[in-house]
Amino acid sequence: MAIVSKGFHGKRRGNDGRTPPGQHLTTDFPVLSVGPTPRVTTDRWEFAIVTERGETHRWNWQQMRALPNEKPVVDIHCVTTWSKLDTRWRGVSLDTLFDGIDTAATHVMASSYDGYTTNLPLTELRGGRAWLAFEYDGAPLRPEHGGPARLLVPHLYFWKSAKWVSTLTLMVRDEPGFWERNGYHDYGDPWQEQRYQGD
């Protein structure tokens, strides 16, 4: 049986060029999680990229924070039909983290501290399109929003922006993650309304 939520209801917008079809704007930041919020302290936080050959590249909190960071301002869109415009983040571009990693992978499995997984094409994480985000709206990212650090992939539905991300595993073929195994779309383009398998 698929685990899906038909979503929230809010103020519906017309075609403003920024709100995908089927979405409603919100000014708050709804919290949706599969289970309890993990409490990961920065002194034990670690992030890793594992290549398809098993090579592991690791960063602790201090190493990650020493990397160049950016302040993306992006619109985000949840599969449960809410959108939030002009959200302000700080994080490390995944281009920076992938720099120097040799791979022939086509896909990535993002894994989180709570056991959550989601799959993405590797191309969607490169080219200035994705970040490892550790601040939101000028403050440290709160645990309920994925802190201390989450994946930020704003051009896809927000379930692809894995909270509490711990590992990106590079893959030479696509495999479904948690929500994808439970009925959600493999890609998740909000402009194409790719919410569920078959959309």
- Domains of the chain from N-terminus onward: 43-192 (3.90.420.10)
Confidence of residue 2 (pLDDT cuts 50, 70, 90): very low
- Is residue 151 over pLDDT 90? yes
pLDDT tens across 153-187, in order? 999 999 999 999 999 999 999 999 999 999 999 99
- Is residue 1 over pLDDT 60? no
Phi and psi dihedrals of 180, rounded to 5?
-65, -35
Rounded Cα–Cα distance for residues 37 and 14 (Å): 35
Instruction: Give percent of the chain above pLDDT 90.
Output: 85
- Is residue 4 over pLDDT 50? no
Residue 148, pLDDT score: 98
Mean pLDDT of 120-146: 97
- Find out whether the peptide bond into 20 is cis, omega within 30 degrees of 0: no
How confident is the prediction for the chain on average, in pLDDT? 91
28 or 101, higher pLDDT: 101
pLDDT tens across 16-74, in order? 789 999 999 999 898 877 778 999 999 999 999 999 999 999 999 999 999 999 999 99
Residue 83, pLDDT score: 96
- Is residue 14 over pLDDT 60? no
- Is residue 136 over pLDDT 70? yes
> What's the whole-model pTM score?
0.90
The b-or-e profile of 48-85 (16+ CB within 10 A means b, else e) is ebbbeeeeeeebebeebeeeebeebebbbbbbbbbbbb
Instruction: Give percent of the chain above pLDDT 70.
Output: 91
What would the DSSP string read from start to end of 6-70? -----EE----SSS-TT-EE-SS-----SSPPP---TTT-EEEEE-TT--EEEEEHHHHHTS--B
Residue 15, pLDDT score: 54
